[in-house]
Amino acid sequence: MTPGKRRFSGIALTVLLTVATAVTGPANQASAATAAQIVADMGAGWNLGNQLEANSGGVPSETAWGQPTVTQALIDKVKAAGFKTIRIPVSYLNHIGSGPNYTINAGWLNRIQEVVDYAYNRGLYVLINMHGDGYKTIYGAWLICDAQNQTEIRAKYQKVWQQIATRFANYDQRLILESMNENFDGQWGRPTQPCYSNINSYNQIFVDTVRRAGGNNPSRWLLVPGWNTNIDYTAGDYGFVLPTDRYRSPSIPSSEKRIMISVHYYDPWDFTGEESTRITQWGRGSTDASRKSTWGQEDFLDGQLKKMYDKFVRQGYPVVVGEYGAIDKAFADSTNPRYRADYVRAVAATAKKYGAAPVYWDNGYTGQYGFGLIDRRSLAITQQGMINAIRSGAGA
């Protein structure tokens, strides 16, 4: 989710971790799930949005965008709701020290691990990424694909991922690392060069660095995006290059892949994210044509995820729909909750059909124009109908 799409109100587990890491190791990773198995095991996913990627003045802070401190109780609520995967967006920004070591602030890395453990120690799959460091609109962002100082950027990127991968080296396959988020040049158009080539190089640095960081990393599932996590610009002939996996553990059969492809899905935007009351309905069940978008319906959704299936899943590379969702417009149309549920059910079901794992974007905001499913203060479920629809679509 880009900063422009977010919305927020106002616009010790150490023992468990010891046990968990003690029973895992490189040997266990060799028997990790195949592509189809891991997607099935990941089931329906949920994003902890607007928390560890939030920042103030370039300094990441989980409460900077109006959300409360993340708790074990919240994660337990998410699990109880039926989600099997939690994606934790993370920004580093000015918590990264100066070169040549680019040391991540110890307190911040510890907190990231603590939040990861909330989910990991409950048996959930966990995805962590580098989220806001590539946005030109965020103060302190540095992973900029069309910046001039690419040598410095690549050195910094390598050092940061080396530290993250080392910290989580002994976590098993349920911990998935994601190279970046919606990285692009900031212009809403066709991919440009050399920006796309630089994104490809970041992905390659990420794979090489994580694989060489020891522990379970040589066999870990790694998640990489194309241009802005856009399906057309990833599956089409626009310049995306799959990273080579030359440092992967030799214990993994050559026929198995351990790289996943990340895309996001918010089509049609006038229904899912545009903060207006013009389009409030979606799908073949809509009752008012004037409130329904002229594009982006069920057939379009099917076609988009089929592109990812044909290009990647057929080759053994799982796809993760790392974000999807639709904002709340019930205040303007009392039937809107029905169509939001129809939409998320369709995305989850189509993802399942085409071998992709769907991860809903929850930004913590449950009011007007919010994506939230759960109130993070009261822990009340605010959109049970949508949760039911997601689970139904994903076969959970």
Please give the positions annotated as active site: 182, 323
Q: Are 108 and 95 in contact (CB under 8 A)?
A: yes
Q: Are 304 and 357 in contact (CB under 8 A)?
A: no
Q: Which residue has the tokens 């599932």?
A: 221
Please give, one letter per residue, the 3-state secondary structure of the chain.
CCHHHCCCCCCCCHHHHHHHHHCCCHHHHCCCCCHHHHHHHHCCEEECCCCCCCEECCEECCCCCCCCCCCHHHHHHHHHCCCCEEEECCCCHHHECCCCCCCECHHHHHHHHHHHHHHHCCCCEEEECCCHHHCCCCCCCCCCCCCCCHHHHHHHHHHHHHHHHHHCCCCCCCEEEECCCCCCCCCCCCCCCCHHHHHHHHHHHHHHHHHCCCCCHHHCCEEEECHHHCHHHHHCCCCCCCCCCCCCCCCCCCCCCCEEEEEEECCCHHHHCCCCCCCCECCCCCCCHHHECCCCCHHHHHHHHHHHHHHCHHHCCCEEEEEECCCCCCCCCCCHHHHHHHHHHHHHHHHHHCCEEEEECCCCCCCCCCCCCECCCCCCECCHHHHHHHHHHHCC
